[in-house]
Structure 1
Amino acid sequence: MNLIKYYGDLVGRQGLIVAGLNSNKKSLETFTAAHNYLTDYESLRVAIDDRPEKAVADLALKEYQFSLLALASGQYRYAFGGLRLFFELMLSVVRFSAHEIDLRMWLCDSKDINWESLKNLDSGVFSVNFMRAFNPAFAEFGRQFSAISESVYRECSEYVHGNAGTHTLLPSEIAFDETAHLAWCEKSAAMRQAIVFAFAARYLNYVSPEGMRRMESVVVDVVGYLSPVQMVYGKSCEA
């Protein structure tokens, strides 16, 4: 077997997958939206430009781009895995902002990121205690975004752990699959909601007026219906 030709042919199939994506209107629209979320996340980063947790956000966005590449290449299982890692890292940004010692330990490979600590009902990033510490007005809404986060994380984990059902949902060979593609995009959109909420609750009380202005479009677009956001961006939310 000519291994170079074999793997070259597999890479060539990825071009056919991109073509299939391009010819499917709904899939192309959702992929474009998911790609454009990068701009939203860049807008959120203004809140942490001068903070140590920015390094984690940089890594998270790199993983998101790799996940997008895997999605466009038909590597769906790995796209879901990359998406889950991105989500863990982005929520860890928020948690690390309140636990800098954990951030320092993580950066020197002496502490792991733990999903249980991120979702913890008493101390996690959506908990009442955490929200009250930084922006009490958001505390009453944390539970609904915690539920969104838990659900989408669990769904991505099914692909990471190779649950039996995922083998029937994914194509058996490298090929474009609309169902898998749209499932990834739905999870990406749900994560965007949770991430924007978490960043707004944690940082809006602490960013400069210019930072608030730069965050405005994404915060209002995603969670502008929440009363604390309307208090901050009232005119924009009513428009």
Structure 2
Amino acid sequence: MLKGSTENASSVEKTMLKLHKSCTDHIAKATKSNEHEINQVLHLEADLAAWLGVLESKPESQQLRSAHRDFGLAFYAAMSGLYRQAFSSLRSFLEVTVGATYLSSLEFKRRQWVSGILDISWSSITSKDDGLYSTPFLKEFCPEAIEEREEMHEKLRQAYRRCSEYIHGNVSTSQLLPTNISYREDIAKEWLSVATSTLTAVIHCLMVRYYKDLPETGKGAVEGSLEDHFSHLISARQLLGLPLEERTS
């Protein structure tokens, strides 16, 4: 029996090392073919890290950092060819980050969520009546963003939906996924595109909820990222004190 167990362990080790080799080969191809897109994602991820730094004293900081780790796992999975897992972890990052941001305004519910009494609800978070991009919420936290609420709400919805389609075995995505670990440039590029949209949407959520309440040092730590990514939006220009572009009739 001991001999059989040893042989089984050896067989498992060989299988796992073979899978590891496939992932390593995929990483080499993915990083070589998508350098520009990867740099975009890493730039946004670094900006997110700056936000997490200025929010570290907030009660929801632990959940935000946990979600950040999910993003790291998602990136690793995408580069390794574990595509379904990459989209799954990306959705988890989106859900938890946006959920923690929204529930930070509802301390009782936030505590119930942390203690496991309350489940996070994407439909509640993104409700047009009282969610993160609802008019009542924005009036209290960032009235400058009211005019762009539909655009940003749609970005969140699209990113969440696309991740969900890969997770739940949607027919169209299931047909795309390879049956083994092999490089698929179209899927790798799509994950990087969805990740870029997701990170951008998350940073905008953080701006809407927190920017006006940050101390000047905190604002200084994140204003560069806001100018980089949102200088085309009236809300960001107003918050940053940038000149508004004249509108032509």
Q: Tell me which interval the TM-score lies in, with the shorter structure as reference length.
A: over 0.9
2:29 is aligned, of 12, 15, 20, to 20
Give how far 1:29 is off: 2.1
Corresponding position of 1:230 = 237
Q: Share of identical aligned residues, percent? A: 25
Deviation (angstroms), 1:122: 0.7
Structure 2 Cα separation of the partners of residues 69 and 147 of structure 1: 27
Is 1:91–1:118's contact at 8 Å kept on the other side of the alignment?
yes
Distance 1:20 1:56 in 2: 33
Query: 1:236 Cα deviation (Å)?
Result: 8.8
Kindly indicate whether the alpha-carbon contact (under 8 Å) linking 1:127 and 1:143 is maintained by their aligned counterparts in 2.
no
User: Which residue does 2:4 correspond to in 1?
Assistant: none
CA distance in 2, matches of 1:7, 1:82: 22
Q: Is the 8 A contact 2:234 2:244 kept in 1?
A: no
Q: Deviations over 1:144-200 (max 9, x none)?
A: 100111111111100110111112112221011111111011111111222122111
Moved more, 1-10 or 96-105: 1-10
Matched residue, 1:30: 37
2:193 is the counterpart of 1:193: no
Stretches of 4+ aligned residues off by more than 6 angstroms: none
Letter in 2 for 1:180: I
Partner residue, 1:7: 16
Paired residue total: 236
CA contact (8 A) 1:43 1:215 kept: yes
Query: Which sits farther off after the overlay, 39-48 or 150-159?
Result: 39-48
TM alignment of 1:43-122, pairs within 5 A: 43-122=50-129
1:96-122 deviations in whole A, cap 9, x for unaligned?
111111221111111111111111001
1-side partners of 2:90 and 2:243: how far apart? 31
Task: Letter of the 2:176 partner, please give it.
Answer: L
Q: Which runs of 5+ in 1 are unaligned?
A: none
| CA distance in structure 2 between the partners assigned to 1:114 and 1:59 by the alignment | 18
The answer to whether the 8 A contact 2:54-2:221 is kept is no
Alignment partners' CA distance in 2, 1:14 and 1:63: 19
- The amino acid across from 1:3 in the alignment is V
**Distance of 1:119 and 1:3 partners within structure 2:** 44
Please tell me whether the aligned partners of residues 128 and 140 of structure 1 are also in contact (alpha carbons under 8 angstroms).
no
Return the alpha-carbon distance in structure 1 between the equivalents of residues 139 and 204 of structure 2. Answer: 14
- Post-superposition CA distance 1:23-76 (Å, at most 9, x none): 32xx12212322332211112224422210111111110000000110111000
Bigger Cα Rg? 2
Q: Is the 8 A contact 2:139 2:146 kept in 1?
A: yes
Instruction: Please identify, of 131-140 and 33-42, the stretch whose mean Cα deviation from structure 2 is larger.
Output: 33-42
Taking structure 2 as the reference length, the TM-score comes to: 0.89
Aligned-pair CA distance for 1:223:
1.3
Q: Cα gap change, 1:45/1:3 in structure 2, threshold over 3 Å: closer, same or farther?
A: closer
Q: How far 1:237 sits from its partner (Å)? A: 8.7
Residues 206-232 of structure 1 show CA distances to partners (whole Å, capped at 9, x for unaligned) of 001111110111111111122232123
- Please report the TM-score for the alignment, with normalisation by the length of structure 1: 0.93
- Structure 2: gaps of 5 or more residues: 1-7
Amino acid at match of 1:56: Q
Shift of 1:205: 1.2
Q: Distance in 1 between matches of 2:76 and 2:24?
A: 12
Distance 1:18 1:87 in 2: 24
Letter in 1 for 2:18: D
RMSD of aligned residue pairs (Cα, Å): 1.7
Does the alignment pair 1:168 with 2:175?
Answer: yes
Contact 2:97 2:202 in 1 (8 A): yes
